[in-house]
Each structure stands twice: as C-alpha cells, then as structure tokens.
C-alpha cells in the first residue's frame, strides 16, 4: 500500500510496541511493496515476541522464499505447523503444509 499506511502502523507501534496485529500488518505492508528485508525483520521480531501468533509463520516463510532461502522458509513453515497443531488451527496448518509441499 502506501508509505502513509506504513507510517500509521509505525505510530501505532510507538504507542504500543507489543501490538502483534500492528506488527503483522506492518510486515504485510512491506511485503506489498516488495520490501522483503524490512518485512523479514518485522516478522522475525513478531515471531520472537509472540510465538503463538500463527499467521506470522506463513508470511515469514514467504519472505524467506522471496529472498531465495527455501531451506529457512521450510523450517519456518514447519515451526508454524507445530504451533497451529497445538492451537487446533486446522486451516492455518493446512496452508503451512501446502507451503512446505510447494517447496518440494
């Protein structure tokens, strides 16, 4: 989207640095602009701060794919499969499993 959206999300994070949704949305905005390094940093930060935020694993895996690191993408997807299985998130787990299969 636009730089103004990125700035708005950054301001939200200044007010609440632990806002997982704002971090996730910021990562998506960077991805939409093909800015994969900042997206990677945001998603990695989110994964460390809130490892149960399962949507992060799919997007972070996609970022690693875009950066040409299929091995790390697979590792992230597999971590996400573990998390979504624990949380009973069948749909998210199946998306992650499909992402792994697509790498093969």
pLDDT digits (tens), the chain, 104 positions? 468 999 999 999 999 999 999 999 999 999 999 999 999 999 999 999 999 999 999 999 999 999 999 999 999 999 999 999 999 999 999 999 999 999 98
Domain that holds residue 77: 3-103
At 11 the pLDDT is 96
At 3 the pLDDT is 81
Structure tokens given for 75: 């590792």
Structure tokens given for 7: 């700035």
At 2 the pLDDT is 63
User: Can you tell me the distance from the alpha carbon of 67 to that of 16, in angstroms, rounded to the nearest whole number?
Assistant: 29
At 78 the pLDDT is 98
At 104 the pLDDT is 83
Q: Give the total number of structural domains in the chain.
A: 1
Q: Which residues contact 14 (CB under 8 A, 6 or more apart)?
A: none
Q: What is the CATH number of the domain that holds 58?
A: 1.25.40.10
User: Can you tell me the distance from the alpha carbon of 69 to that of 71, in angstroms, rounded to the nearest whole number?
Assistant: 6
At 1 the pLDDT is 43
């Amino acid at each position: 989207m636009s730089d103004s959206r990125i700035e708005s999300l950054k301001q939200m994070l200044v007010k609440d640095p632990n806002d997982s949704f704002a971090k996730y949305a910021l990562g998506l905005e960077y991805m939409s602009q093909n800015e994969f390094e900042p997206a990677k940093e945001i998603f990695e930060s989110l994964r460390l701060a809130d490892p149960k935020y399962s949507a992060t694993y799919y997007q972070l895996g996609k970022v690693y794919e875009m950066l040409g690191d299929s091995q790390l993408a697979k590792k992230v997807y597999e971590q996400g499969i573990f998390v979504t299985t624990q949380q009973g998130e069948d749909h998210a787990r199946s998306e992650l499993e499909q992402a792994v299969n697509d790498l093969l």
